[in-house]
Amino acid sequence: MMTQLVNNQISGELLHNEVMARYTSWRVGGPAERMYKPAGLNDLMLFLQGLPESEPVFWLGLGSNILVRDGGIRGTVIATQGSLAGLEIMKDGCVRAEAGVTCAKVARFCSSHALSEAEFLAGIPGTMGGALAMNAGAFGGETWSMVESVEMLDRQGRLHIRNKNEFEIAYRKVSGPKDEWFVAAHLRLKKDEKEEKNIKKDIKALLEERNKKQPVGLPSCGSVFRNPENGYAAELIEKTGLKGLCEGNACVSEKHANFIINTGGATALDIEKLIKKVSASVQEQQGVLLEKEVHIVGEFINAGDNE
């Protein structure tokens, strides 16, 4: 059931027991106790001010890098896509992209203003909030290489401007101030000599390369495992002979071994069991412990499911 908030100050939408499968790219996941869709940044600040300190808060963009367990999520999920949608060029020349803007839209926006170095964002199936949180990358580019500063909200709904040097940034990992969340990025890009149409050609070529190598269009989370040092997770999984391995209706992609696809009707438990099987087999046969890139969140339906 959806409840429209009628508070004089808050104008977003609050959903109860909202099934997360509708919001994740794997198309799996149980219900969130509460989901809030803010009307904008100021509205979100007011909403956070009214949350109890003990309330668990989970932020959701496109749901493309998470596995939500079948028992769902306790607490409040804040859905940023379509809510934190600001995208503009600031007076200092930086591109300001709010957390709910898709990475692909940022890439197109930058190309339309002849700004280069953001082309790789077209290959990231998520929002800027998620890209900031994990230093998402594609085609050799990484999100934080462009970041000059970020805007963050704390649990009390206060806005903070943080410089890049306030964060520890690594491959697919970012750590910074505790209990603060990304709501916007300020990106410093190059005004390129290349014409806009040439930047668009670069984006098109990158996307064509992605489509040849990845099972685009099928329910997945993108890459399941981080690439180990001096190697590629997909090569190790393929070398172990795991392409096509299934658990229920979740299967390792025949096209790209670091993708697990929902062939139809898979559960989150199917996917999680398959992740564990792949990890164990690669470690046993290749001597490499693969580290998950996907974030697994939420509750099991049954206590024995985590065995």
- Cα(176)–Cα(198) distance, rounded to whole angstroms? 36
From the candidates 223, 247, 272, 279, which is the catalytic residue?
223
293 catalytic residue (yes or no): yes
**Residue length of the chain:** 307
Contact between 222 and 172 under an 8 Å Cβ cutoff? The reply is: no
172 catalytic residue (yes or no): yes
Contact between 129 and 99 under an 8 Å Cβ cutoff? The reply is: yes
Q: What six digits make up the tokens of 135?
A: 């230093």
- Cα(206)–Cα(119) distance, rounded to whole angstroms? 8
- Cα(277)–Cα(248) distance, rounded to whole angstroms? 13
64 catalytic residue (yes or no): no
From the candidates 172, 188, 210, 226, which is the catalytic residue?
172
- Cα(99)–Cα(182) distance, rounded to whole angstroms? 7
Comparing CA positions, the residue from 61, 54, 60 lying closest to residue 72 is 60
- Catalytic positions, written as ranges: 172, 223, 293
